[in-house]
Structure 1
Amino acid sequence: MARIALASGLQHALAPLTRADSQLTVWITGDRLLAGRFPTADFEFDFSAEVFASMGSLPAPPVAPRSLDTVVGRKTSNLVLRLLGRDTPYESWKALMIGALRQIEEARPGALEALEAYHPRSKRAVARRPEQLYENRKQVEHFSAELIPGWYVATNNSRTEVLKYLRKAGEGVGLVWGRDIDVVEAADAR
């Protein structure tokens, strides 16, 4: 089975490693993408998170919130956000989550604050600091990005979670799900 990553995601993941070690090499062994000083691998690329994870021989590189340009995900669906009479297409649930939250906040300021208060189980959809998103530090490092200045978004969400978060964000600022805001999947998007 092929494992695919966006080139921009790979570039973003390599940047802190190459700043720390200009002699860093990258190679493929079997189905693993490794980095370090060949033949000693210090990092392995995690295709699902599009980050290099430390293999234990070196401390993990410093983690900055990822640019949203690198976290929109690969194309997994044909989705349409319907917000206040305007349709916007998206190609993944991650891209939909990010784009929709930005649009809702722009249309009705205060949506992110309303959503921040919603905290089911072990994560929040949005927070003012990335460490407030997840209880698990590794998830913060791998699955968060700056949404807009001063706000961070959790990027590890299921279809069900994305729909729930968007509904909560909309309802928090008076939007009615199914009338003012809705998400339509490809077959229904006509």
Structure 2
Amino acid sequence: MHALHPSPHPDDLHSSLATLKAQLQQITQTLAVLEQNLPAPPQDNDAPPPATGYTLLGTTYPVRTLSAAFVAIFRQFALWDPAFPVRFKQALAAELAKTKKPSKRGYLASTPQALYPGAPQLWKHAQEIAPGWLLGTNESSAKKLALLTLACQVMGLVWGKELRLALP
């Protein structure tokens, strides 16, 4: 047989309901105070750069070195735009033509030999960024930053805003 549960007394129900309403009001007030003290979330362009790495279009990528960022960013650009390597080479050729002493290095090429002509000891510094395209990483920090700046121009991005580095 089933045991019958006695119905709660109406006074007990009213007391429980009043207690629950008071608790709900207290929780609501606490939440309102907490929400007032919350700082506004940063916007993508206002987000600080990562402690170590780079931020590209609001997304942060952790890397430890400028060389790692250099290769990763060129790979990302080549993924987004398969024509990027060709367009970058054209822009680089135009930039180098403006200088009084153009470099023999290719910076971006299809073979290690084209990256570092006559320097087989440097061929190990060739990193693939896309099928058939190698990036030379044995460059000064200043040269890498200049090449990244040019890469941003080729991609239509603003260096320092849409691509930011935070490296030691």
Cα separation, partners in 2 of 1:162 and 1:86, compared to 1, 3 Å: same
Aligned: 1:177 with 2:159:
yes
Aligned: 1:91 with 2:64:
yes
1:40-189 alignment to 2 at 5 Å?
79-117=52-90, 118-119=92-93, 120=96, 121-185=103-167
- DSSP-derived class of the 1:146 partner: strand
Aligned length: 109
Instruction: Tell me how far apart the structure 1 counterparts of residues 82 and 166 of structure 2 sit (CA, whole Å).
Output: 24
Instruction: Tell me how far apart the structure 2 counterparts of residues 116 and 147 of structure 1 sit (CA, whole Å).
Output: 13
For structure 2, the residue ranges without an aligned partner over 5 or more in a row are 1-50, 97-102
Instruction: Tell me how far apart the structure 1 counterparts of residues 161 and 84 of structure 2 sit (CA, whole Å).
Output: 17
Cα separation, partners in 2 of 1:180 and 1:109, compared to 1, 3 Å: farther
The alignment's TM-score, normalised by the length of structure 2, stands at: 0.56
Instruction: Tell me how far apart the structure 2 counterparts of residues 93 and 169 of structure 1 sit (CA, whole Å).
Output: 15
The question of whether the paired residues in 1 share the 8 Å contact of 2:78 and 2:130 is answered with: no
The alignment's TM-score, normalised by the length of structure 1, stands at: 0.50
Report the AA paired with residue 153 of structure 1.
L
Bigger proportion of residues as helix: 2
Instruction: Tell me how far apart the structure 2 counterparts of residues 92 and 140 of structure 1 sit (CA, whole Å).
Output: 19
Tell me: higher relative CO, structure 1 or 2? Use CA pairs within 8 A at least 6 residues apart.
2
For structure 1, the residue ranges without an aligned partner over 5 or more in a row are 1-77
Bigger proportion of residues as strand: 1
The Cα RMSD (Å) is: 2.2
Deviations 1:83-140 (CA, angstroms, capped at 9, x unpaired): 1111111111221111111112223443322322315513222112332212223255
Instruction: Tell me how far apart the structure 1 counterparts of residues 52 and 74 of structure 2 sit (CA, whole Å).
Output: 15
Structure 1 or 2, whichever has the larger Rg, is: 2
Cα separation, partners in 2 of 1:113 and 1:139, compared to 1, 3 Å: farther
